[in-house]
Structure 1
Amino acid sequence: MNVQNEQLNTDWLKAIRENLGDSVSIKNVGIVGGGSINDARKVETSHGTFFAKINEEKEYPGMFEAEARGLDFLLEHSDFQIPKPIGTGVSDEIQWILMEYIDHASKKPDFWEKFGVKLAKMHRSTHEKFGFESDNYIGNLPQYNSYKTTWAEFFAENRIAPQLKMAKDQGYASDQMVKLLEKVISRSDKYFPVEPPAAIHGDLWTGNFATNKMGEATIFDPSAYFGHREMDIAMSKLFGGFDAKFYDAYNEEYPLEKGWEERLQIADLYPLLAHLNIFGGTYAYQIMTLLRKHV
């Protein structure tokens, strides 16, 4: 990416000054690896260290503004340490988000128990409807969050139907996959227990949490909204990496309804379809296996 560092630095300094009300200078900007969608930078200043993500302005419009709203959502509804957004903007056709930098350390012995309890408490934060104030992203795909009264309606219309349409348009969905997913849409009221909307992270896999300097969990890169809490639980299990102590502690704090482990397979359809639409047909077999078993 052709980045105009001088203009970025100027705009980052302006954001820090506006947000923190202090004079500041940049000492160093270093490249941070690991991101598959955006480039990342560690911005060291006289006022402390910050974390930035950048991408071309034309790619994924509004992504960083949506991320900032998601981080604010997590700050409002959870006890996790969340990187506070400092600012977003566009500099010479490069869009960016700047946020607090969180130092990392080793996990405390009770890391997983505290993680589970904090997530359970976050999920108790509720709203009158399912959805969010604006649309955002799941990975690099648009995520639709128009408010719905029931989870069944939200899951069908805002989660499965858009991903199915995208898979059909790209030629990734076989006729049988289409037929089975249409059944999921028509029967969406059969799959999940009726619960109040929960403040959820929306993309809670191992790449989106870390250990802060206190040895506890910090979460970031949200695809946040008020949804069914089993969506977060399903995502945490889909690619592994969460200790059994996490689920035990969660269930002690806010027990999941009986049969939750089986139901997670239906919740998995959304992230799996998103992965199919991002990465291609390699996920089709996994989706079809799930559908044949549960639909």
Structure 2
Amino acid sequence: MTDQSSPRPAAPDTDALLARRLAAAGLEVRSLRPVTGGMAAVARIATLSDGSEVFAKTLTPVPGPDLFEVEAEGLAALRDLGGVATPEAVRVAPDVLVLRALRPRPDTPRFWERLGRAVAALHTTTVTDRFGWHRDGWLGRMRQDNTWHDSGHEFYARRRILRWLPEPHVRAAFDREDRRALERLCERLPEIVPDIPASLTHGDLWTTNIIADERGEPVLVDPAVSYNWPETDISMLWCTPRPPESDHFFAAYEEAARPEPGWRERLPVLYLRELLCVIAHGDDHWGAADRVREVIAPFRRRG
């Protein structure tokens, strides 16, 4: 999930905690070095006793015993069902996930074009008529409700928007009319979003979750998978800070996937899920609630 503020420093003992959890998973650590980006997890590149390097992450506390199992399953689904490159899991434990170490992405036009075509292939080869996933997942430290629906409008309204309204931080951020405007937006979703079929989606496709393999080819990490409108993935990149070269992603994606007309105009509505999730985590340090109010302004009652 996104964090548009500066990364917050980890607590001093997080390296020791991660090393202990890696040791319990059968991996002896020689050294750890930080990686940037992300929001919820403690992530490090670990050099193991044999000199090899892996990527390791944990949370303090871990919000659920299936957290990393679900993440590893999502990586496998994207790779096996959608054909996109994802790292293989080295270890999956209730309190730590270890992946093969990869490289920072090269922000070149070629890289972003290749990614655009890969995501287009994911979305166009996994089309189905049901929305959801066979199990609930995680987005940051909070549950992602993946209950199956036949209607994309109902799924997005109930499981991606209204699901967040009872959360304490969301209740505190919005007044009654804000909440009612969100509800009206959900009621009018069929007027906003065409009847687009579901595809397998990454679910958290922002720049920090895009890295590269040893050849410089795109690799995706940290998914929150479900079958959903494919444009929900595109909204994550479109609406968050990104390098100028990423324009090549959207050109390549549009050419290969041929989204329904008006897709650019729909993306701020589809990004509401992420904004509400950030607020629910108590991490709105950069104006997420104000951005929500901008999107829902047309759904306020006048006078």
Instruction: Name the TM tier (shorter chain).
Output: 0.7 to 0.9
- Alignment correspondent of 1:288: 293
Indicate if the aligned counterparts of 1:37 and 1:140 stay in contact, CA closer than 8 A: yes
Matching of residue 82 in structure 1 with residue 83 in structure 2: no
The alpha carbon displacement at 1:42 in A equals 2.3
Unaligned runs of 5+ in 1: 14-25
Distance 2:163 2:184 in 1: 15
- Alignment correspondent of 2:227: 226
Matching of residue 11 in structure 1 with residue 16 in structure 2: no
Matching of residue 40 in structure 1 with residue 67 in structure 2: no
CA deviation vs aligned residue, 1:75-130 (integer Å, no higher than 9, x gap)? 1133332111233224xxxx111121113464565112111111000011133411
- Alignment correspondent of 2:186: 185
The alpha carbon displacement at 1:214 in A equals 1.4
- CA RMSD for the aligned pairs? 2.4
The alpha carbon displacement at 1:155 in A equals 0.4
1:1-295 pair list within 5 angstroms: 1=14, 3=17, 5=19, 8-13=22-27, 26=28, 28-34=30-36, 35-45=38-48, 46=50, 48-56=52-60, 58-90=62-94, 95-104=95-104, 106-107=106-107, 109-124=109-124, 125-166=126-167, 170-241=171-242, 243-278=246-281, 279-280=283-284, 282-293=287-298
TM-score by length of 2: 0.83
Would the alpha carbon gap of residues 115 and 166 (structure 1) be closer, same or farther in structure 2, given more than 3 Å must change? same
Q: Secondary structure at the match of 2:98?
A: strand
Indicate if the aligned counterparts of 1:39 and 1:55 stay in contact, CA closer than 8 A: yes
Distance 1:63 1:245 in 2: 33
Indicate if the aligned counterparts of 2:105 and 2:211 stay in contact, CA closer than 8 A: no
Indicate if the aligned counterparts of 1:105 and 1:213 stay in contact, CA closer than 8 A: no
Indicate if the aligned counterparts of 1:172 and 1:277 stay in contact, CA closer than 8 A: no
Indicate if the aligned counterparts of 1:132 and 1:146 stay in contact, CA closer than 8 A: yes
The alpha carbon displacement at 1:134 in A equals 1.0
Distance 2:294 2:171 in 1: 20
Distance 1:53 1:4 in 2: 8
Q: Secondary structure at the match of 1:82?
A: coil
Q: Secondary structure at the match of 2:224?
A: coil
Distance 2:166 2:137 in 1: 18
The alpha carbon displacement at 1:168 in A equals 7.1
TM-score by length of 1: 0.85
Counting matched residue pairs gives: 279
Give 1:30's aligned amino acid: L
Would the alpha carbon gap of residues 76 and 187 (structure 1) be closer, same or farther in structure 2, given more than 3 Å must change? same
Distance 2:74 2:260 in 1: 27
- Alignment correspondent of 2:10: none
Unaligned runs of 5+ in 2: 1-13
Return 35-44 or 232-241, whichever deviates more: 35-44
Distance 1:64 1:251 in 2: 33
The alpha carbon displacement at 1:148 in A equals 0.6
